[in-house]
Amino acid sequence: MKLLKTRFKGLKIIKFKRNTDTRGYLAETYNKKIVGGKDLIFDYKVISKKNIFRGFHFQYKYQQVKLISVLKGKILDYVIDLRKNSKTFGKTYKIILSEKNNLSLYVPTGFAHSYLTLDKENIVYYKLSNYYAPKFESGIFWNDKKLKITLPIKNPKVSTKDKNLPSFNNFLKKFKYL
């Protein structure tokens, strides 16, 4: 397992070792000694078809550290840095996570998270530091011009809820930062 830094403080890429033989493979999905995230307490998986865009989501109260891995398929993962006094505040970071590249993304609190699914079937696994609290959930509209997000497809499938998320400017007015 290797830990790779990004230019965003605390945002890490984890390259997991894969042990392969004729039966298949075995790969770690989490190692507290290397990854950190001592408070990761809650897991869930999301299964999505191709060209689904989820996000940008965050919890403004009971914020969550997230460790995101792809068990099957391939996603284009995005985060927005929303942390007060961060040198990368308002900037986005993107990475391909897939079953084949065996990469995971460790996202500290203070980020909004989203992804676009790229394969026919995608299974995304989350390890989180806080429980889901829908009462304190919000987000930012994925197609906000200020974010300058470019997707490899023209019309992703987006939920009604995500289509109605506020703009980045509305986030700034309401929250200022996370």
Q: Active site includes 126?
A: yes
User: Going by DSSP bridges, is the β-strand pair 66-72/52-59 parallel, antiparallel, or unpaired?
Assistant: unpaired
Q: Which of 78, 93, 115, 126 is catalytic?
A: 126
Q: Active site includes 57?
A: yes
Contact indicator for 123, 150 with CB cutoff of 8 Å: no
User: Going by DSSP bridges, is the β-strand pair 137-139/74-81 parallel, antiparallel, or unpaired?
Assistant: unpaired
Q: Which of 25, 30, 57, 78 is catalytic?
A: 57
- Omega within 30 of 0 (cis) for the link into 136: no
d(CA 90, CA 146): 9
Active-site residue numbers? 57, 126
